[in-house]
């Protein structure tokens, strides 16, 4: 049992490389560095946001920590135990404690199963209840996520996108998890529905003591739910901080550029959009030194030669950038927003 001040999950130097095959005999022709040395922790009742452009490696991290894929190197500790060293029975128990909510509720719900079967499936697999007790539990779960018991016999196509996501949440809750990986859970929904689902997730966190890894590319959504936020670029975390600190004083040039595109709800704050040049390079052949240097407006010769180490700035904030090493340099320290 994890105490409130201990980490529920700890990810240490996680790497996931995919072999690249080519040629007549499909020989190994290189590797895709999808995740390249990622470390973070998640505490009880905490939401860690994981943000970055498409292709930055967020979903590969999610698949690894759910043990849906193997890893190349590193460790994933859940409640103090390495999940890649668990035997079959312990792995089955882990599946209960670690759940997932997917981006597209339409694709993640079996169209041939009724709501009762979808939500009840894991209850049966984990032998949590049977007969009337199981049905009662399913009805309770539906009510918790804001759906009526009348929906038990209906099928996914009969629901709206928001309702389908609520069914997905009820399915995840059915086995009393501790940590839920939310992989872009609201990006397929309308803005008004997004707010409802975010509020529901926050309520459930308070009520059941849940932790979330919340993966998203929409930074305004992450702002509403995350306690801390990690920023990924080309398979690496480049900055991690508490939400308020990251949104008001980002220290990595990539974070600064990402956040410059987020609207600030204050008409008195002038916002200057930073447009990055070029596209994210391929993880098959990443740039030398700092992976961000071909796009970075502040790049210096050292950035092409040496990968920046992670620097602890205090206050649960760290960044990996050579610029920070220069005494007194701060990319941004505005209190109320960027580029005022």
177 binding ligand SF4? (CB under 6 A): no
The C-alpha angle 2, 180, 245, rounded to 5 degrees, equals 80
The sheet that has 211-216: what strands, in order across it?
Answer: 98-101, 179-183, 211-216, 47-51, 228-233, 236-242, 317-320, 310-314
- Binder among 16, 43, 293, 317 for ligand SF4 (CB under 6 A): 293
Q: How far is the CB of 314 from ligand SF4 (least distance, A)?
A: 19
318 binding ligand SF4? (CB under 6 A): no
Q: How far apart are CA 121 and CA 225, in angstroms?
A: 29
Nearby residues of 24 by Cβ (< 8 Å), 6 or more positions away? none
C-beta of 146 vs 287, nearer to ligand SF4: 287
63 binding ligand SF4? (CB under 6 A): no
Name the maximum alpha-carbon separation found in the chain: 69
Segment near ligand SF4 (CB under 6 A), from 143-151, 154-162, 202-210, 316-324? 316-324
Q: How far apart are CA 270 and CA 173, in angstroms?
A: 43
Q: What DSSP letter does each residue of 155-204 carry, written as one string?
A: -GGGS-HHHHHHHHHHHHHTT--SEEEEESTTTTS-HHHHHHHHHHHHHH
- Binder among 98, 231, 323, 337 for ligand SF4 (CB under 6 A): 323
84 binding ligand SF4? (CB under 6 A): no
- Binder among 138, 180, 230, 296 for ligand SF4 (CB under 6 A): 296
Q: How far is the CB of 76 from ligand SF4 (least distance, A)?
A: 27
168 binding ligand SF4? (CB under 6 A): no
Distance of CA 115 to the CA centre of its chain: 26
C-beta of 8 vs 276, nearer to ligand SF4: 276
Q: How far apart are CA 64 and CA 21, in angstroms?
A: 22
CB 75, CB 235: distance < 8 Å: no
253 binding ligand SF4? (CB under 6 A): yes
Q: How far is the CB of 232 from ligand SF4 (least distance, A)?
A: 14
Q: How far is the CB of 299 from ligand SF4 (least distance, A)?
A: 4
321 binding ligand SF4? (CB under 6 A): yes
C-beta of 135 vs 310, nearer to ligand SF4: 310
Q: Which of 113, 121, 111, 112 is nearest to 141 (CA)?
A: 121
286 binding ligand SF4? (CB under 6 A): no
Q: Which of 174, 241, 185 is nearest to 218 (CA)?
A: 185
Q: How far is the CB of 324 from ligand SF4 (least distance, A)?
A: 8
Segment near ligand SF4 (CB under 6 A), from 26-34, 101-109, 189-197, 290-298? 290-298
Binding mask 188-207 for ligand SF4 (x = CB under 6 A): --------------------
Q: How far apart are CA 232 and CA 131, in angstroms?
A: 46
- Binder among 229, 290, 317, 337 for ligand SF4 (CB under 6 A): 290
- Residue labelled with tokens 């009805």: 139
The site that binds ligand SF4 (CB under 6 A) totals a number of residues, namely 13
SS3 40: strand
Q: How far apart are CA 228 and CA 304, in angstroms?
A: 30
C-beta of 63 vs 252, nearer to ligand SF4: 252
299 binding ligand SF4? (CB under 6 A): yes
Strand pairing category for 179-183 and 211-216: parallel
- Binder among 102, 214, 247, 292 for ligand SF4 (CB under 6 A): 292
Q: How far is the CB of 282 from ligand SF4 (least distance, A)?
A: 18
Which residues make up the interface to ligand SF4 (CB under 6 A)?
252-253, 290, 292-293, 296, 298-299, 303, 308, 321-323
């Amino acid at each position: 049992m994890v105490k409130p001040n201990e980490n529920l999950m700890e990810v240490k130097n996680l790497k996931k490389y995919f072999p690249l095959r080519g040629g007549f005999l499909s020989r190994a022709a290189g590797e895709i560095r999808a995740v390249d040395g990622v470390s973070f922790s998640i505490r009880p009742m905490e939401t860690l946001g994981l943000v970055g452009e498409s292709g930055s490696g967020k979903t590969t991290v999610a698949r690894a920590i759910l043990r849906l894929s193997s890893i190349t190197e590193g460790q994933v500790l859940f409640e103090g135990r390495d999940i890649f060293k668990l035997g079959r029975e312990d792995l089955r128990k882990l599946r209960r404690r670690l759940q997932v909510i997917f981006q597209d509720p339409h694709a993640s719900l079996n169209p041939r199963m009724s709501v009762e079967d979808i939500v009840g499936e894991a209850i049966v697999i984990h032998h949590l209840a049977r007969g009337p007790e199981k049905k009662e539990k399913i009805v309770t779960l539906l009510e918790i996520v804001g759906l009526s018991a009348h929906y038990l016999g209906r099928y996914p196509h009969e629901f709206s996108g928001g309702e389908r996501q609520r069914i997905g949440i009820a399915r995840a809750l059915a086995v009393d998890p501790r940590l839920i990986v939310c992989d872009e859970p609201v990006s397929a929904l309308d803005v008004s529905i997004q707010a409802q689902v975010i509020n529901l997730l926050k309520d459930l966190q308070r009520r059941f003591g849940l932790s979330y890894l919340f993966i998203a590319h929409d930074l305004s959504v992450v702002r509403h739910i995350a306690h801390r936020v990690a920023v990924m670029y080309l398979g690496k975390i480049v900055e991690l901080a508490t939400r308020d600190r990251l949104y008001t004083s980002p220290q990595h040039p990539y974070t600064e550029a990402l956040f410059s595109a987020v609207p600030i709800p204050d008409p008195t704050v002038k916002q200057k959009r930073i447009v990055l040049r070029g596209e994210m390079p391929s993880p098959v052949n990443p740039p030398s030194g700092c992976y961000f240097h071909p796009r970075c407006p502040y790049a210096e010769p050292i950035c092409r030669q040496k990968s920046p180490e992670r620097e602890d700035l205090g206050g649960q904030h760290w960044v990996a950038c050579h610029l920070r090493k220069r005494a007194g340099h701060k990319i941004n320290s505005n209190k109320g927003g960027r580029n005022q």
